[in-house]
Structure formats: structure tokens, C-alpha cells
């Protein structure tokens, strides 16, 4: 097995060896002849170009892996697994209902393996910021992360549940940031990274709110799981968010949304649709991902079938076609 040596240790080691050579009696080399000592020392300690160690490691090219979320199937996750694999996606995001749906993590792991699907993330639900239930929230999401670990998954996704009956204040954003940090510390111990999902109707609905939450959270333990459609609907530019949080994005939801101008309730005046059928600048999103050299998973998500004449699988096929024919990516 090879041994890694730091530049400092390596160069320091050269110094020790050189010092030892300097202290060696001249006669130690003289016995080899007039030039033998110098020649031997040159062969033992050849000149070295150490400028290599002064250069930084160049950033690698971006690499996006494409998955699909099971939410469209409304809880029928066995059908979702079969359809998503048949569409050619190699990753899947599941929701916490699978913990009850499957007898064990092993059963789910075996089924995913059969369909050659990687469990990218588990949607763990909203984090309540009420101090009275803080310990309960930490325990619940940590248990979900344990399930992810046992399945062989990668990430845990959380949203939030804001305070009821009062206005949201700066202290709420700070509290949420600290709470997801505490959860993230525990999931990290299990080898599962935590991603905060910006979401309409939550504390992280608007871009400036996402900024406050991310500022309050420890970047080592709480990453951003950017949903580009929710971010757009909340008044933001997803491409700018990618540029801003490129070094902190855990994974993404690639998603589209359209306006429903006939709807009087502003909270219902939009719906999520298949990729390319809404208003999100998805080519701009892809360009931004390339510009920050993003390496990770992009999960296509559609909350529900917008046209009830189609099946979830048919919706997935529409989005896949858009990705491949309009954005030029290979699923």
C-alpha cells in the first residue's frame, strides 16, 4: 500500500537527510576515491524540482448525474422505482413514507440494487423550530438519516415549518439555521450529508430568507439543496443562486413551474409542470452549473401530474426528452 507524504514532511525530511550528510566525516566518502564521495552523494540526493509542490490543484470539470424524484407517484414507491429505472435515470429521491412501506432498509436496498438505482436522498420532512420540540425534531431526522445510511443512500433533505399565528422574524431564521446545524452534525456522524430545501410556504420561501438561514447555519454540516422552481416562484434567479452557493450546494431539484393567472389565491396561482413547459430558465440553470463546475446529483422533480390524462411515467418521459433534446444532456 502506498504512503502519502505531505509536502512539508517531505521537504523537512530532505533537510534532515541533508543535515546528516553534512555531519558525516569526509573520510566516509574519501575511501571511494577523490571524486567518488561527491558522485555518490549526488546519486543518493539528486537535484529535485520542488516547484510542483507550489502549484495548486486545478479544479476538475463539472459532472452532473441525473436522478428523478418519486413524489409524482403519490406514495406508490415500488411503481416509482420501476418506472424511473425504465426511463433510464440512475438515481432516485424517496420520501420518508418508505420507512413504513418497506419491512427493512435491507429490503429497499435490495430492490434498488435490482433496478440499478442509487438512493440519492430521502425527503425527511419539515423541521419545526418550536423550542419545545427541538429534541424530538433532532431525534426524528437523525433516525431518518440512519435509514438512509442502511439503504446505502447519500443525503437527507429537510424543509421547515415556520411559526404559526405570528409574523416571522430574524430570530426565526437564526434558530432554524442553528437547528439544522445540530441535525447535520448528527447525520454527518452517520456519513449522511444534510441539505436544506428552499420551499414555498416555508421560512425559506424567498431568496433573502434563504440567505439568512444559510448565514445562520454552519456550512460544514448544513448544505443547500436548491430547488430551482421554488426559488424562481419565490422571486429569485436560480442561476444567480447557483453562482452564489456553488461551493455549498449538496444537490439540486431541477423543476419547472407555470403561472395560473385565473387563480385568485396568490398562494395557489402556480403549479409545477414537466421540464420545458414552465417559466424557469433551465438553459441558464445548466449554464450556471457548468460555470461553477458543479459535480453531483440533479434530481428532476414534479410534485403531481399536472394533466390527469398522463401517468407519472409519461411525465417523466417528457422531462427526459427535454433534457436530452433541448439541453443536450445524457440521462
What SS3 string covers 44-86?
Answer: HCCCCCHHHHHCCCCCCCCEEEEEEEHHHHCCCHHHHHHHHHH
**Distance between CA atoms of residues 138 and 179, nearest Å:** 8
Neighbour count for residue 323 (Cβ, 10 Å):
22
Q: Is this structure's pTM higher than 0.85?
A: no
* CA–CA distances in Å: residue 81 to residues 67, 144, 151, 312, 324: 11, 19, 14, 12, 21
**Distance between CA atoms of residues 98 and 84, nearest Å:** 16
Instruction: Catalogue the long-range contacts made by 165-172 (C-beta closer than 8 Å, 24 or more residues apart).
Output: 168/203, 170/212, 172/129, 172/203
Q: Does 26 have pLDDT greater than 50? A: no
Comparing 198 with 41, the larger pLDDT belongs to 198
Q: Does 16 have pLDDT greater than 50? A: no
| Angle at CA of residue 66, ends 78 and 276, nearest 5° | 100
| 83-97 mean pLDDT | 98
Q: Which of 282, 303, 299, 242 is nearest to 92 (CA)?
A: 299
Q: Which of 97, 118, 99 is nearest to 107 (CA)?
A: 99
Q: Does 200 have pLDDT greater than 90? A: yes
DSSP letter string, 222-254: EEEEEEHHHHHHTT--HHHHHHHHTTTEEEEEE
**Distance between CA atoms of residues 131 and 182, nearest Å:** 13
Q: Does 278 have pLDDT greater than 90? A: yes
* CA–CA distances in Å: residue 116 to residues 64, 192, 280, 304: 18, 20, 30, 25
Comparing 264 with 210, the larger pLDDT belongs to 210
Mean pLDDT over each residue of the chain, to the nearest integer: 88
Comparing 162 with 107, the larger pLDDT belongs to 107
Comparing 21 with 279, the larger pLDDT belongs to 279
pLDDT confidence of 23, banded at 50, 70, 90? very low
Task: Name the CATH topology of 63-325.
Answer: TIM Barrel (3.20.20)
Comparing 18 with 152, the larger pLDDT belongs to 152
Q: Does 186 have pLDDT greater than 90? A: yes
Q: Does 6 have pLDDT greater than 60? A: no
Q: Does 10 have pLDDT greater than 80? A: no
Q: Does 8 have pLDDT greater than 60? A: no
The phi, psi pair for 193, rounded to 5°, reads: -85, 145
Residues contacting residue 58 through CB under 8 Å, at least 6 positions apart: none
pLDDT tens sequence across 43-79: 554 555 544 444 444 455 679 999 999 999 999 999 9
SS3 92: strand
pLDDT tens sequence across 213-232: 999 999 999 999 999 999 99
The pLDDT of residue 165 is 86
| 271-291 mean pLDDT | 98
The phi, psi pair for 253, rounded to 5°, reads: -105, 115
C-alpha cell recorded at residue 213? 438561514
Q: Which of 196, 174, 170 is nearest to 183 (CA)?
A: 196
**Distance between CA atoms of residues 293 and 309, nearest Å:** 39
Percent of the chain with pLDDT over 90: 79
Give strand ranges (E) for the chain.
Answer: 63-69, 91-95, 118-128, 155-161, 193-197, 222-227, 249-254, 256-259, 270-273, 295-300
The pLDDT of residue 61 is 67
The pLDDT of residue 162 is 86
pLDDT tens sequence across 124-149: 999 999 999 999 999 999 999 999 99
Q: Which of 309, 302, 308 is nearest to 69 (CA)?
A: 302
User: So where are the chain's domains?
Assistant: 7-54, 63-325
Neighbour count for residue 320 (Cβ, 10 Å):
20
CB 288 within 8 A of CB 242: yes
pLDDT tens sequence across 234-243: 999 999 999 9
Amino acid at each position: 500500500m502506498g504512503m502519502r507524504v505531505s509536502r512539508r514532511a517531505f521537504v523537512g525530511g530532505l533537510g534532515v537527510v541533508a543535515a546528516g550528510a553534512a555531519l558525516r566525516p569526509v573520510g566516509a566518502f574519501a575511501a571511494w576515491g577523490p571524486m567518488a564521495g561527491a558522485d555518490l552523494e549526488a546519486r543518493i540526493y539528486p537535484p529535485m524540482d520542488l516547484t510542483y509542490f507550489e502549484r495548486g490543484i486545478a479544479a476538475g470539470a463539472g459532472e452532473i448525474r441525473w436522478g428523478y424524484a418519486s413524489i409524482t407517484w403519490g406514495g406508490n414507491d415500488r411503481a416509482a422505482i420501476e418506472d424511473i429505472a425504465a426511463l433510464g435515470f440512475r438515481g432516485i429521491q424517496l420520501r420518508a413514507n418508505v420507512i413504513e412501506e418497506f419491512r427493512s432498509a435491507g429490503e429497499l436496498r435490495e430492490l434498488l440494487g435490482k433496478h440499478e438505482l442509487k438512493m440519492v436522498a430521502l425527503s425527511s420532512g419539515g423541521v419545526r423550530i418550536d423550542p419545545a420540540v427541538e429534541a424530538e425534531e433532532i431525534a426524528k431526522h437523525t433516525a431518518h438519516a440512519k435509514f438512509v445510511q442502511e439503504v446505502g443512500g447519500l443525503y437527507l433533505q429537510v424543509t421547515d415549518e415556520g411559526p404559526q399565528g405570528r409574523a416571522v422574524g430574524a430570530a426565526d431564521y437564526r434558530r432554524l439555521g442553528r437547528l439544522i446545524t445540530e441535525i447535520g452534525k448528527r447525520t454527518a456522524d452517520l456519513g449522511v450529508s444534510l441539505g436544506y430545501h428552499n420551499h414555498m410556504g416555508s421560512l425559506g420561501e424567498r431568496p433573502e430568507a434563504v440567505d439568512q438561514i444559510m448565514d445562520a447555519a454552519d456550512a460544514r454540516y448544513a448544505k443547500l439543496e436548491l430547488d430551482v422552481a421554488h426559488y424562481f416562484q419565490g422571486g429569485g434567479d436560480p442561476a444567480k443562486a447557483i453562482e452564489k452557493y456553488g461551493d455549498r450546494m449538496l444537490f439540486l431539484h431541477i423543476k419547472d413551474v407555470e403561472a395560473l393567472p385565473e387563480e385568485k389565491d396568490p398562494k395557489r396561482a402556480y403549479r409545477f409542470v414537466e421540464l420545458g413547459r414552465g417559466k424557469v430558465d433551465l438553459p441558464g440553470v445548466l449554464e450556471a452549473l457548468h460555470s461553477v463546475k458543479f459535480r453531483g446529483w440533479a434530481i428532476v422533480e414534479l410534485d403531481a401530474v399536472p394533466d390527469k390524462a398522463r401517468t407519472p411515467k409519461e411525465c417523466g418521459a417528457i422531462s427526459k426528452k427535454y433534457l436530452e433534446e433541448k439541453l443536450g444532456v445524457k440521462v
